[in-house]
Amino acid sequence: MIHVMGAGAYGTALAVSLAQNGPVTLWLRDKVQAKEIQETRENRKRLPGVRLPDNLTVTSAMPAPKDGELTLLAVPTQKLRGFLESHVAQLGRGPLIACCKGMELGTGLSPTKVISALRPQGISAILTGPSFAADVARGLPTALTFACADAESGTGIQAQLTTPNIRVYRTTDVIGAEFGGALKNVMAIGCGAVIGAGLGESARSALMTRGFAEIVRVATTHGAQRDTLSGLSGFGDLVLTCTSEQSRNYMYGQSIGRGDVFDETVTVEGAATARAMTQLAQDQGLDLPVTTAVCGLVQGKLKVRDAMDMLLSRPLKEE
């Protein structure tokens, strides 16, 4: 049995895919919505058009995972701490696997560090990489990274998370996987803003490239491995998120570039992460010009062309 906490689009999609391997429980807080999804076999609000398998149970009753059973935490990074504070005692001693990307505002902590802070004993890991909920739920081929510091446990969990349409690669470099997944959303906002403002594909390519260099620089400073950042959870996720209109962060950036109002009910992890990482950069004396510019955009302190001018006027240097 696998338990998925959070019935947003991505949590639902993961539950659908994992149900190909065996029984899955999908939990959400809202009793009325849980009952509706369980009875209609469709999450019409978050993932319309996808029928839920018969062995996927939707419930608002918090499950009690048995030892060894996996629990996937598909809740936004900024809500992860609150969820765990309310429910961590009920989640047992089995592995807790974050399925969110970003850094927590106020602390700068990654999802696995938030988990470890609330439950010091037990395995905390993350499932990340280039994937859209619609593709995962429709059974389209997808490759993800599973990052777990415990190599032996990670091997067994990797097998449980692999499905007919999801190929899971394993790494012990949790830091690299989390920094790559968090910061690519920041760069996606910037790329969306560039396109939304009509600055062109060449400008987007430049921002992606320099943004990736920034991701590598800050992540390796914190102990990440360069190979991880060149893989699925780094470069792979960056390319997908910065070029597709399925990306919420990219579309949010486009709305900034066009001067449009964006739907506030849509979770945009990159906005909070830009603020968290800018504060971290100030505290640690790191030079993160792209992240700082995106932070200015999401806070309304910078216009897109001003941000681009600021980046272009930086001192010349070698690549």
Establish whether 174 is an annotated binding residue: no
Q: Per the annotation, does 275 bind a ligand?
A: no
Return left, alpha or beta for 168; rule: phi > 0 is left, psi -120 to 50 is alpha, else beta: beta
> Which candidate, 24, 47, 43, 19, places its Cα nearest to that of 33?
43
Picking from 218, 223, 186, 4, the residue whose alpha carbon sits closest to that of residue 97 is 4
The Cα 244–Cα 72 span in angstroms is 26
Catalytic annotation present for 35: no
Q: Do 51 and 57 form a contact (C-beta atoms < 8 A)? A: no
The answer to whether 250 is annotated as binding is no
**101 assigned ligand-binding residue:** yes
10 annotated to bind ligand: yes
Nearest to 131 by CA among 254, 268, 244, 3: 244
**Burial class for 257, CB neighbours closer than 10 Å (0-12, 13-18, 19+):** buried
Determine whether the annotation assigns residue 133 to a binding site: yes
Instruction: Report d(CA 42, CA 44) in Å as an integer.
Output: 6
The position carrying tokens 């509706």 is 36
Helix (H, G, I), strand (E, B) or coil at 38: helix
- Please tell me whether 131 is known to bind a ligand: yes
**Which listed residue (31, 79, 113, 184) is catalytic?**
184
Residue 227 annotated as binding site: no
Q: Between the CA atoms of 169, 172, 178 and 180, what dihedral angle is there, to the nearest 10 degrees?
A: -60
Q: Is 247 annotated as a binding residue?
A: yes
Is 43 annotated in a binding site? The answer is: no
Q: Please check if 269 is assigned to a binding site.
A: yes
Query: Cα separations (Å) of 147 from 7, 96, 102, 233?
Result: 22, 12, 15, 9
Annotated binding site for sn-glycerol 3-phosphate: 101, 129, 131, 184, 237, 247-249
* Binding site members for NADPH: 10, 29, 101, 133, 248, 266, 269
Q: Any idea which residues carry the catalytic annotation?
A: 184
Q: Binding site: which residues?
A: 10, 29, 101, 129, 131, 133, 184, 237, 247-249, 266, 269
